[in-house]
Amino acid sequence: MIELSQLTFGYGKQKLFDNITLSLKPGHIYGLLGMNGAGKSTLLKNIAGLVFPWSGTCTVNGVSAAKRLPSFLQELFFVPEEIYLPALTATKFADSTGHFYPKFDNKQFIQTLADFDVPADRPLTKLSYGQQKKVLIAFGLATNTSLLIMDEPTNGLDIPSKAQFRKVVASALTDDRCIVISTHQVRDLDNLIDTVVVLHNQQIVLNQSLDEIVEKVNFETIPANSTNYLYAEENISGLNAITQKTEGSYTKVDMELLFNAIITNNKTLTDALNQTNHEQHV
């Protein structure tokens, strides 16, 4: 689906990525995590062909993203962080824009608006920022493009809307669709994504499924005086910790804890995560 090979990019003299290689496949919901300023939005723009790499390549379905061919654009929808919508109702917006996407499903669009509790007959410019965001998310889901990219989509959404967002996005995934969601609000993607991609220090430092991660480390609460951990943070009952995998134990990935550990440049943890299963069992 998406292949980045030795991609280097920056603005002016500021380099954001240095020889990044990344492969994303259909049938997955990827969570692109990184600190503010790490370049998450810029990486998504490279994938969408909105900016061009200094060197290296970015292809989507075997086609260079930078060429922005009509066949490429028909299979891509990008929900940016900052949105600007016309003074149309959601229904009129779908009528004027949906035909650019061959698999656009108007019934799905209207149903998702209803799920989000957003009126379809009010001018978009009269809606709150959060409601406008929901309209664009609903439209993106209804395009049924093979690639859907969303940049900080939960910004502006209240807590109930974030829960509904996770539900409708999960239901829109198919075996031939790839969904990439960037955020710095890590917990917003809990119970939604199946693969974590972390951008840090100009590199992709992690690209693994949650299933792969729990095969390598545990996430657990341990006593405050414990020292046997890869990374830990204090809580009222001890330590939230990432520990070495023990045979027969399986725990849920704590993505916020995982992300915090990685951005502290915890080499012991990243080495453990980047081990292959073969290396672990040798």
Q: Residue 279: its pLDDT value, please?
A: 47
Distance CA 64, CA 60 (A): 6
Q: Residue 254: its pLDDT value, please?
A: 93
Mean pLDDT of the chain: 92
Per-residue confidence at 276, pLDDT binned at 50, 70, 90? low
Distance CA 192, CA 140 (A): 17
Q: How far is CA 61 from CA 7, 102, 146, 227, in A?
A: 17, 17, 9, 47
Higher-pLDDT residue of 39 and 248 is: 39
- Token pair for 182: 């960037």
Do 125 and 85 touch, CB atoms closer than 8 A? yes
Share of the chain above pLDDT 90, in %: 77
| DSSP 8-state symbol, 217 | E
pLDDT digits (tens, 9 = 90+) for 107-123: 999 999 999 999 999 99
| Collapsed DSSP state (helix, strand, coil) of residue 257 | helix
Identify the CATH number of the domain defined by range 2-208.
3.40.50.300
Give the H or E element holding residue 17.
Answer: strand 14-24
Reported pTM: 0.92
Q: Residue 209: its pLDDT value, please?
A: 95
Share of the chain above pLDDT 70, in %: 98
pLDDT digits (tens, 9 = 90+) for 132-160: 999 999 999 999 999 999 999 999 888 99
Average of pLDDT values for 165-175?
94
Q: How far is CA 267 from CA 57, 104, 242, 261, 271, in A?
A: 28, 45, 13, 9, 6
Query: 98-113 burial, b for 16+ CB within 10 Å, e for fewer?
Result: beebeebbeebbbebb
CA 150 vs. chain centroid, Å, equals 7
| Collapsed DSSP state (helix, strand, coil) of residue 30 | strand
- Token pair for 116: 């989000």
For the chain, which residues make up each domain, given as ranges?
2-208, 215-281
Average of pLDDT values for 174-203?
92
pLDDT digits (tens, 9 = 90+) for 79-100: 999 999 999 999 999 999 999 9
- Token pair for 29: 């919901």
Do 200 and 35 touch, CB atoms closer than 8 A? yes
- Token pair for 222: 């341990």
